[in-house]
Amino acid sequence: MVGYRWFAKQQAELLGIRGYVRNCTQGEVEIVAQGKPADLEIFLHQIKTGPSRARVSRIRREVLEGETRYDAFQIRG
């Protein structure tokens, strides 16, 4: 087990990022993140690297306007 979702949650909480991480189909992971632009850039760099046993092959970044506001960072199913 790689622990990518737990890694993302830990990094998000350290930076004050809110949102969620969840597993999708075919080994993909979805992350929705809200926070200060500088903190989001740091978070993006960290999740590109991932934990030591992870293999991140691609990141797709989308900026969403007017979406739901989150109070914390959660791991979802």
Model pTM score: 0.87
Number of domains in the chain: 1
Task: State percent of the chain over pLDDT 70.
Answer: 97
CATH number at residue 20: 3.30.70.100
What's the rounded Cα separation, in Å, for the pair 47 and 33?
11
- 69 as an active site residue: the answer is no
- 23 as an active site residue: the answer is yes
Q: 5, 22, 55, 69: which one is catalytic?
A: 5
Summarize pLDDT for 23-65 with one digit per residue, the tens.
Answer: 998 888 999 999 999 999 999 999 998 888 888 888 888 888 8
Q: How confident is the model at residue 75 (pLDDT cuts 50, 70, 90)?
A: very high
Dihedral of CA 53/55/71/16: which sign? positive
What's the rounded Cα separation, in Å, for the pair 24 and 11?
20
Q: 22, 23, 61, 76: which one is catalytic?
A: 23
Distances (CA, A) of 16 to 1, 9, 11, 51, 54: 26, 10, 9, 19, 23
Summarize pLDDT for 31-41 with one digit per residue, the tens.
Answer: 999 999 999 99
Q: Which of 59, 58, 12, 57 is nearest to 36 (CA)?
A: 12
Range of the domain at 65: 4-76
